[in-house]
């Protein structure tokens, strides 16, 4: 059960980029139908679920060469991803550059889906090193991202996007915390 809880927490951390993009999507569209909201959320969650599978496949190919220091790799990847997420959030916040875009445009939708799921590729690599059941993990990550993305679109429409960047910072802190937990478990338990 601890493993499933770990994946749920990780999925929440990974989905904060999608949450922030969803808030922006909710803000940028004057009226958004339930179908269009589902379209955005599905694209974000599909890529968020697919990338760990790709990362896991790559990681499983090189796993035997990395067993002695896999926990350091998992820690490093998650910690650096968390720092990157926080840095980019603060940078965008300071610059005040909130671009108006059309998230229903095919290329914009695919672009933002890929951009928000790159972190999940590195997580998939870590999953291979840690022996996580990838199908269950990808399903959970996709489902959580879908729910959080739909919530983000609603929040964007209701709040005017006041909390999007703070959510990215919290997501980064969660990823860093999970990386630290992995390292401590391998070093001391």
| Residue whose token pair is 């959320």 | 41
CA distance 66 to 85: 26
Q: What angle do CA 19, 45, 4 make, to 5 degrees?
A: 90
Burial 34-53 (b: 16+ CB within 10 A, else e): eeebeebbbbbbebbbbbbb
pLDDT in tens, 62-92: 766 766 676 787 788 778 877 877 887 787 7
Q: What angle do CA 152, 112, 165 make, to 5 degrees?
A: 45
Segment 127-150 shows an average pLDDT of: 93
Segment 182-186 shows an average pLDDT of: 79
| Residue 171 binned pLDDT confidence (cut-offs 50, 70, 90) | low
pLDDT in tens, 6-36: 899 999 988 988 888 888 788 777 678 899 9
Query: According to the model, what pLDDT value does residue 17 have?
Result: 81
**How many CA within 13 A on the CB side of residue 179?**
24
Segment 106-134 shows an average pLDDT of: 85
Segment 137-149 shows an average pLDDT of: 97
Which residue did the predictor score with more confidence, 88 or 134?
134
* Contact between 141 and 10 (Cβ < 8 Å): yes
Structure tokens at 47: 């890529």
In the chain the first and final C-alpha atoms are separated, in Å, by: 18
Give whichever of 103-112, 133-142, 175-184 has the largest mean pLDDT.
133-142
């Amino acid at each position: 059960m601890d493993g499933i809880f770990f994946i749920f927490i990780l999925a929440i951390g990974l989905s904060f980029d999608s949450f922030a993009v969803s808030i922006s999507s909710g803000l940028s569209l004057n009226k958004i139908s339930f179908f269009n909201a589902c379209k955005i959320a599905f694209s974000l969650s599909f890529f968020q679920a697919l990338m760990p599978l790709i990362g896991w496949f790559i990681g499983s190919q090189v796993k035997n060469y990395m067993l002695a220091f896999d926990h350091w790799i998992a820690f490093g990847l998650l910690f650096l991803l968390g720092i990157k997420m926080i840095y980019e959030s603060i940078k965008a916040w300071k610059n005040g550059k909130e671009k108006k875009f059309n998230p229903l445009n095919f290329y914009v939708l695919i672009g933002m889906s890929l951009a928000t799921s790159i972190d999940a590729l590195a997580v998939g690599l870590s999953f291979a090193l840690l022996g996580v059941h990838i199908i269950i993990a990808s399903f959970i990550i996709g489902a959580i991202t879908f729910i959080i993305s739909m919530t983000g679109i609603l929040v964007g429409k209701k709040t005017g996007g006041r909390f999007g960047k703070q959510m990215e910072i919290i997501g980064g802190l969660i990823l860093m915390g999970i990386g630290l937990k992995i390292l401590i478990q391998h070093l001391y338990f």
